[in-house]
Amino acid sequence: MRISVREWTAKGDPYVWMNAGAVAVSLVMVIGLLALIAGRGLAHFWPHAILEADYLNQDGKSMLLIGEQVEVESVPADQLRSGGVEVPPGVNFMDRWLIKTGNRDVLGADFRWFLADNIRNIRYPEGLMTLERREWGDFKGYLLEVKEGDTTVASGEAAWDEFLVRLDRALDLYDQIHSIEKTEIGSINYTIERMRLRERKLELEGEKTPQAMADIEAIRAEENAKYENLQQDLIDLYAQINRDKIVARAMNGDEVEIELSKIVRAFRPNAMGIGDKIGHYFSKIWEFVSDEPREANTEGGIFPAIYGTVLMVIVMSVLVTPLGVVAAVYLREYATQGTLTRIIRIAVNNLAGVPSIVYGVFGLGFFIYFLGANIDDAFYQEALPSPTFGTPGLMWASITLAILTLPVVIVATEEGLARIPRSVREGSLALGATKAETLWRVVIPMASPAMMTGVILAIARAAGEVAPLMLVGVVKLAPSLPLDGNYPYLHLDQKFMHLGFHIYDVGFQSPNVEAARPLVYATALLLVIVIALLNLFAVGIRNHLREKYKALEM
Amino acid sequence: MNEAVVLKAPDIDFDTPQLKRHRNVRALKDKVATVSIGAGGVFVIVAVTLIFFYLLYEVMPLFESAKVEPVAEYTVPGKGKTKFLAMEEQAEIGIRIDDLGAVTFFYTENGSVHSQLNLPIPAGTTITSINEGSAGSQTLALGFSNGSGLVVQHQYKITYPNDVRLITPQLVYPYGEEPVTLATTGSAITNIAVRDNEELLMLAGATDSGDIFGSLFSKEEDFLTEEITLEEQDITMPQGRGKLVSLLLSPDVRWLFTTNEAGELRMYDLRDRANPRLNTEVNVTEETKVVAMRFLLGDISLLIADDQGQVSQWFPVRNEQNEFSLEKVRQFKTDGAKINQIGIEERRKGFFIVSEDGQLGLYNSTAEREALRENLLDKSIRYATLAPRANYILMETEDGQLHFWDVHNEHPDVSWSALWAEVWYENYQEPEYVWQSSAATNDFEPKYSLMPLSFGTLKAAFYAMLIATPLAICGALYTAHFMSPALRRKVKPVIELMEALPTVILGFLAGLFFAPFMEANLPGVFTVLMLIPIAIILFGFAWANLPASIRLRIDDGWEPLLLVPVIILVGWFSFAISPSVEIAMFDGDMRFWLENTAGIDFDQRNALVVGAAMGFAVIPTIFSITEDAVFGVPKHLTYGSLALGATPWQTMVRVVLPTASPGIFSAVMIGLGRAVGETMIVLMATGNTPIMDINIFEGMRTLAANIAVEMPESEVGSSHYRILFLAAFVLFIFTFMVNTLAEFVRQRLRTKYSVI
């Protein structure tokens, strides 16, 4: 059956197809975006093969090239010519490879473009290794020998196994040092600082008695003694960890000595079997979610950011749930349903559409500069002039986001309450229950899934919100976690790290964007997964709820 | 045997004390619940409205006028005629120099003398003129009746003995106590000007007859002792043309400005030391007499006051040929009384006037704002000075009394015209809209025009809506009306998920992935935009012509799934041919071609990138609301239309769309509200330069991004801080109004549906 163009157009089918196209484009965009994030985020942890090749430089000399291929790009030859690269005439396009050469300390940059045509004799020798270091990024090259002090303990083929054994020992020592420095000395410093504040407080209150001072001094002396001990331990540990080093050769032929204490991880991707690679992959993912960031957040993990986000969201939900539910119950069950209530309802609804940055400005001005400064004056006099609550921090961030997400909870709860048929309420009242009892025993349990939905949506929104947080509490690198082992355990006044802000900061404020990019994708992926799960959960509850109450709506 | 069963109510006493108590407790609980939920609900609602009032509360001070209050009044300390009056930073101590050469430091709160010194003036002479160097430099040039001049500084040392602030004033002679001879004729110097910078010291003076003299010294610093020695340089001053009212030197000693009573303002170019050249000569007044001329803070603008109460502002403007000319920038009018003196603020581009009828006027030049004009005293005010922080003023009346007043003038630099109109800023060729809130120097003129930011906001929103509206509305129409229910149940959650994506992720992808990708494949982007609609139509037509056996395998309402591979293929194809297109049509580099051949500037992070990313964020908002509105159209309308023989598309256009149009309108409004307030995407996907250009290939800065960038650095309570609050307030009001309108329309629609 042939259809003529005219007939086809007359039916309006082209328009229908265009509309279908809009849906298809939207779907392709969403799924493409998710796939992009997932692909880039997940690929980063895979141990990529290291290639070795001879590269013909512009001046005709050949040099050794070692690195991972990151990207291939086809460039118009004219662009290259205008950049001063000699391109034979008649060639329109040239491929170029972005290669991660690592060795920032030796070569100056760790990512470089190379013309594909000039890369010759590509090979993947098993002896090539990647060292992840605590500073200067990755090292890529050959292991030559392992040294203890100045004596060589192993070289050649045997060196690798010896190196791994010794690296394990060094990592172990490093963990010990880290735990002493971070946890134990951190706690001592914290106690000493608290003593200083206590002394200052006594002074301000005019109660600086010798008795009180003696107590403070006793605690101080105790902490100082502890500190001396730890200091001694540290010196020992440092001596041990600095024992070993290796000699390795980089791509430009330089032989460099690397101390084992500077190495986080070592592997030879070309020599790894598929099983090893999978193991490596998951261990890298674990490192990513459980470790602290290194090198200005461009390496290592994002644990503090996850921690900060979760804690902030928890504090926020604790605040927003009762407030939102009470407001919704009031609006739906207690307030007289008149014009005023309708206006309030519309206003609350619309607050959800107010830009989040406005809430940030409000939080900064009202909570921090006004409330916070007054709280400091009243309760934290001893710490002044350095502010306690008069500066951005976890508490203000949580409260600001609680206000931001309040409309979400109110609207969802109200919707849930409205869905409960009158007959149910009236039945309860007819049996003699008071209004409060009806509410507590009948209405709220029935509406609770709706409240849950509201709170989950609020959490999903809060977890992804960054703009207001930039004003009221996040930092790029927090020295300590806002919940730790030091009294009072939950530090509401502290600044914290946040996944969303981490993406912004590492992606846009980082000195080495190229190196940081895969981590940003991985962070984004994590955030998307968390938020998608929360949303799907909320949608699931909502659908379940609708099914459940269908029977009641008769 | 039949025994009647007697049913008796169980013998329960409902009024036992226990049950009574129980009932009371329940009643009490009910009451408590009512009260506490009521209180809680009202509290939450009040707390939420607090945002509005708090923003307003922070913004209001911007538009308050200045206030002054008297603090003290006393007789002028010291003798003779006042030649100079000033206060130190804290406004605790004042300095007065009289014509006899006595310097009196006094306490401003009661006029008692702190100390008195005598200037080393040559015997038998008097001080005939005093002028200050740059505002706040505390460097004074004194002109004597014997034709010589002297440089002196008044300085204040602050110490804290016993935790109490103690201010010790002193006089310093940085270049010795020996006067410099200016007028070789020996006649009195009636006007003097001084410039003291890193390399040069220059004194210029004019006598009663209008002769101009100048002495220029270059400074040489001894490496070891750091002692500065002066070396006199030759300089020729222009010919005098009659008695002057004022004489001023520009900071780089290039320009010399003179004005006389008749209002002839001359600007001389002193760059050629041997040949001073008259650059501009203008008449600043027509019938009035000029009484004073001063530099505004920064020493670029001239303020000229006349005896009819008018002040005009002039500054040199450079044209394209690098030539300077003096231009009148703006004028301020008072009630017409003769102005006795103009004074300036040391921290802002503000000035004040005092006049014959006891009037004080406080003005800001950039904002063109009269912060205060009030007849404070019923006597002529002869001389006045503002404290460096502009929080106190000292005024000397003709009867020899000093009046010390408190000044509250927090935000004179903000006015309607400063925020929304074109302003002619110093060093600019013409009036412009500029946002530049801070700079490294102290005498910087803050440029608070909200126009570039509002423009940027609307530009970003416009491009976002341009991309989002057609996609979202068409998609929603299809989803609600044509799509098979099974697919609809799958598509809706995907779009809802799209709404939940944090904008920081969209911004990051836009800035770090899409922007460089687009720059590299610019022709590809446009090819995609052109090819996809064509491909969809072609595919649709081809599908309609397929044999029924294939066509009927796919049910109606699944078309989007068929199109997905088509779109992916076309997308891939477009980007694959992108380099070839670039070579064929744009000489191999479209970016270069745009900038050089088409003359269009190109930024990597531009409005197109923002539009795409923000469009992505806005699509789900518009989509869901439109979809709800279309889906909510009562089914009997559609069925009726179809039953009467209309095609599905006709039903859509003639029946469904008109019914649902208010809902679509509100969807677009809510989408717009979201696009206007979005922060992270704009922050990350544009260069954040506040320019006003509709060009799609250039960036912008929006109100929201500006707040995020500048708020953390802004000083609490400053004009800048409050203007950022104003920006937030504007955003709040705008989105709130737009959303309310949309909500209102939606509610009307809902009522309409229930009636149909």
- Place B756 in a pLDDT band, splitting at 50, 70 and 90: low
E strand intervals along B347-481: 350-355, 359-364, 369-375, 381-386, 392-397, 401-408, 435-436, 447-448
- Place B688 in a pLDDT band, splitting at 50, 70 and 90: confident
Q: What's the pLDDT tens digit per position in A526-542?
A: 999 888 888 888 878 87
Is the CB of residue B499 less than 8 Å from the CB of residue B572?
no
What tokens does A527 get? 């955030």
Neighboring chain A residues of B61 at a CB cutoff of 8 Å: none
pLDDT beyond 90 at B462? yes
CB contact B33 to A (< 8 Å): yes
Neighboring chain B residues of A461 at a CB cutoff of 8 Å: 500
| Mean pLDDT of all residues in B588-609 | 82
DSSP string for A411-423? HHHHHHHHHS-HH
Question: Which among A327, A463, A501 has the least Cβ separation from residue B44?
Answer: A327
- Place A283 in a pLDDT band, splitting at 50, 70 and 90: very high
Mutual orientation of helices B451-477 and B657-677 as an angle, nearest 10°?
A: 140
d(CA A349, CA A407): 6
Q: What's the pLDDT tens digit per position in B407-451?
A: 998 888 888 888 888 889 888 888 999 898 887 777 788 889 999
**Which ipTM value was assigned to this complex?**
0.88
Please name the residues between 695 and 754 in chain B that touch chain A, using a CB distance below 8 Å.
704, 707-708, 711-712, 716, 724-725, 728, 731-732, 735-736, 738-740, 743-744, 747
d(CA A219, CA A191): 9
Is the CB of residue A65 less than 8 Å from the CB of residue A53?
yes
Is the CB of residue B263 less than 8 Å from the CB of residue B290?
yes
Collapsing DSSP to helix, strand or coil, B205 comes out as: strand
Chain B interface mutation, best of A1, A3, A5, A16, highest count of B Cβ atoms under 10 Å:
A16
> What is the rounded average pLDDT for all residues in chain B?
87
- Using the Cα atoms of residue A483, residue A484, residue A489 and residue A494 in order, give the sign of their dihedral: negative
Question: Which among A23, A364, A507 has the least Cβ separation from residue B508?
Answer: A507
User: Cβ atoms within 10 A of the Cβ of A291, count?
Assistant: 16
Exposed/middle/buried for A167, CB within 10 Å: 0-12, 13-18, 19+?
buried
What tokens does A516 get? 């940081």
| DSSP letter, residue B632 | T
Residue A536 to residue B583, Cβ atoms within 8 A: no
* Nearest partner of B451 among B413, B423, B411, judged by Cα: B423
Q: What's the pLDDT tens digit per position in A177-202?
A: 888 888 888 888 888 888 888 888 88
Neighboring chain A residues of B707 at a CB cutoff of 8 Å: 357, 360-361
pLDDT beyond 80 at B754? no
Exposed/middle/buried for B548, CB within 10 Å: 0-12, 13-18, 19+?
exposed
**All domains of chain B in start order, with CATH:** 66-76+289-325+336-429 (2.130.10.10), 121-283 (no CATH), 461-755 (1.10.3720)
Q: How far is CA B574 from CA B19, B459, B528, in A?
A: 82, 27, 6
Residue A362 to residue B54, Cβ atoms within 8 A: yes
Measure A190 CA to nearest chain B CA, in Å: 28
Residue A504 to residue B501, Cβ atoms within 8 A: no
Neighboring chain A residues of B735 at a CB cutoff of 8 Å: 350, 353-355
- Using the Cα atoms of residue B548, residue B553, residue B556 and residue B558 in order, give the sign of their dihedral: negative
Contacts of A547 (CB under 8 A, 6+ apart): none
The pLDDT value given to residue A550: 66
Chain B interface mutation, best of A4, A6, A23, highest count of B Cβ atoms under 10 Å:
A23
Q: Specify which residues B281 forms β-bridges with.
A: B266
Is the CB of residue B676 less than 8 Å from the CB of residue B461?
yes
Torsion, CA A419, CA A422, CA A425, CA A429, rounded to 10: 170
Neighboring chain A residues of B27 at a CB cutoff of 8 Å: 434
Region of poorest pLDDT, from A171-175, B258-262, B750-754: B750-754
d(CA B626, CA A26): 15
Residue A358 to residue B677, Cβ atoms within 8 A: yes
Neighboring chain A residues of B569 at a CB cutoff of 8 Å: none
Q: What's the pLDDT tens digit per position in A325-344?
A: 999 999 888 888 888 888 88
Question: Which among B54, B473, B500 has the least Cβ separation from residue A531?
Answer: B500
Contacts of A460 (CB under 8 A, 6+ apart): A531, A534, A535, A538, B500
The pLDDT value given to residue B7: 65
Is the CB of residue A498 less than 8 Å from the CB of residue A309?
yes
Is the CB of residue B338 less than 8 Å from the CB of residue B289?
no
d(CA B258, CA B315): 13
Contacts of B167 (CB under 8 A, 6+ apart): B88, B90, B92, B93, B156, B157, B158
Residue A330 to residue B42, Cβ atoms within 8 A: yes
Chain B interface mutation, best of A361, A475, A535, highest count of B Cβ atoms under 10 Å:
A361
Residue A20 to residue B563, Cβ atoms within 8 A: yes
Q: What's the pLDDT tens digit per position in A71-118?
A: 888 777 777 777 777 777 777 778 888 888 888 887 778 888 888 888
User: What is the third-level CATH fold of A308-500?
Assistant: MetI-like fold (1.10.3720)
| Mean pLDDT of all residues in B468-486 | 92
Neighboring chain A residues of B740 at a CB cutoff of 8 Å: 346-347, 350
DSSP string for A115-177? EGGGEEEEE--TTEEEEEESSS-EEEEEEEEEEETTEEEEEGGGHHHHHHHHHHHHHHHHHHH
pLDDT beyond 70 at A551? no
Q: Which amino acid is at A339?
A: T
User: Cβ atoms within 10 A of the Cβ of A511, count?
Assistant: 9
Residue B27 to residue A434, Cβ atoms within 8 A: yes
| Mean pLDDT of all residues in B540-567 | 87
Q: What's the pLDDT tens digit per position in A489-513?
A: 788 888 899 999 999 988 888 777 7
The pLDDT value given to residue A1: 54
Q: How far is CA B549 from CA A7, B483, B537, B552, in A?
A: 21, 21, 21, 6
Contacts of B340 (CB under 8 A, 6+ apart): B291, B292, B354, B355, B356, B380, B381, B382, B383
- Place B623 in a pLDDT band, splitting at 50, 70 and 90: very high
Q: Give me the helices (H) in A299-438, please.
A: 303-329, 339-351, 356-362, 373-379, 394-419, 422-430, 435-437
Give the residue extent of every domain in chain A.
5-43, 51-134, 141-279, 308-500
- Place B573 in a pLDDT band, splitting at 50, 70 and 90: very high
The pLDDT value given to residue A554: 44
| Mean pLDDT of all residues in A242-246 | 86
| Mean pLDDT of all residues in A114-142 | 86
Is the CB of residue A132 less than 8 Å from the CB of residue A264?
yes
Residue of A nearest to B590 (CA): A79
The pLDDT value given to residue B6: 63
- Place B596 in a pLDDT band, splitting at 50, 70 and 90: confident
pLDDT beyond 70 at B741? yes
Neighboring chain A residues of B541 at a CB cutoff of 8 Å: 3, 5, 8, 14
Q: What's the pLDDT tens digit per position in B496-517?
A: 888 888 999 999 999 889 998 8
Collapsing DSSP to helix, strand or coil, B115 comes out as: strand
Question: Which among A24, A362, A467 has the least Cβ separation from residue B567?
Answer: A24
What tokens does B53 get? 């009032």
Mutual orientation of helices A444-464 and A513-550 as an angle, nearest 10°?
A: 170
**Percent of residues, chain A, with pLDDT higher than 70:** 99
| Mean pLDDT of all residues in B594-613 | 85
Is the CB of residue B142 less than 8 Å from the CB of residue B131?
no
Question: Which among A22, A29, A73 has the least Cβ separation from residue B470?
Answer: A22
Q: B582: part of which helix (H) or strand (E)?
A: helix B559-586
Phi and psi for A405 in degrees, rounded to 5? -95, -5
End-to-end, the C-alpha distance of chain A in Å comes to: 49
> What is the rounded average pLDDT for all residues in chain A?
86
